[in-house]
Structure 1
Amino acid sequence: MKIDKIHHIAIICSDYEKSRHFYVNLLGFSIIQETYRELRDSYKLDLLVGNGDMIELFSFPSPPSRASNPESCGLRHLAFQVKNIEETVDYLESKGISVEAVRLDELTGKLFTFFKDPDNLPMEIYQS
């Protein structure tokens, strides 16, 4: 068996309109397709990230909260590569998004930091 790549990352949100705005208008991800699934009373929003990565944003009625602090087993965070971390931090903060202090990855020598989506999902930005 050989896995070629990650096809997509799926995120369940608690407030579809708020999360849609965050990912599309603030982070700038492009909409591939938006589908309302009446039987599930749920939206599925396919988003293009960069040059081919995809996030599926789902809404479901009353999803349980995600345990974030302390960190629990499972998916830890999503990391997005950026060319200029300072410009990205300035942009996010100008949109009212709190960003942690920029740190240096002692293993790679690269700069990185974290912010959170509307449901407190940790997101990392990592300078290329």
Structure 2
Amino acid sequence: MKLKRIHHIAIICSNYEVSKCFYTEVLGLTIQQEVYREERQSYKLDLAVDGLYQIELFSFPDPPARVSRPEAAGLRHLAFEVDSVEQSVEHLSLHGVVTEPIRVDEFTGKKFTFFSDPDGLPIEMYEV
């Protein structure tokens, strides 16, 4: 088997309109396709990062809560590459998103910070 790359990441949100606004208007992801699946009472929103399809945002009726603390077992966080962490923090602040203090990766010397999506999913901005 030869894996080529990650195809997409699926995120289930508790409030579709709030999360759709967060991922498209705050983070700037672009909508590639949006469908409503009547039989599942579920939206599926395909989102692109810098023109590349990478995230599926789903809604389902009454999804169960999931532990999302950074050190919980399972998926730790979602990370985005950015040119400037400082500019990203400034942009997020304008939209009312609170970030952790900017840190520096001890191995790479690169800046990064964390914040959360509307459902508490940890998201990292990593400067490249």
Provide structure 1 residue ranges, at least 5 long, that are not aligned to the other structure.
Answer: none
1:12-31 alignment, distance < 5 Å? 12-31=12-31
Correspondence for 1:104:
104
1:107-126 alignment, distance < 5 Å? 107-126=107-126
Secondary structure in 2 matching 1:62: coil
For the pair 1:10 / 2:32, whether they are aligned, the reply is no
TM-score, normalising length: structure 1: 0.97
After superposing the two structures, state which structure 1 stretch, 46-55 or 58-67, moved more. Answer: 46-55
Amino acid across the alignment from 2:92: L
Identity %: 59
Aligned length: 128
TM-score, normalising length: structure 2: 0.97
Question: 2: CA distance between counterparts of 1:5 and 1:70?
Answer: 24
Correspondence for 1:39:
39
Runs of 4+ displaced beyond 6 Å: none
Cα deviation, residue 80, structure 1: 0.2
Secondary structure in 1 matching 2:124: strand
For the pair 1:83 / 2:83, whether they are aligned, the reply is yes
Secondary structure in 2 matching 1:58: strand
Correspondence for 1:72:
72
Provide structure 2 residue ranges, at least 5 long, that are not aligned to the other structure.
Answer: none
Q: Is the 8 A contact 2:44 2:57 kept in 1?
A: yes
Amino acid across the alignment from 2:59: S
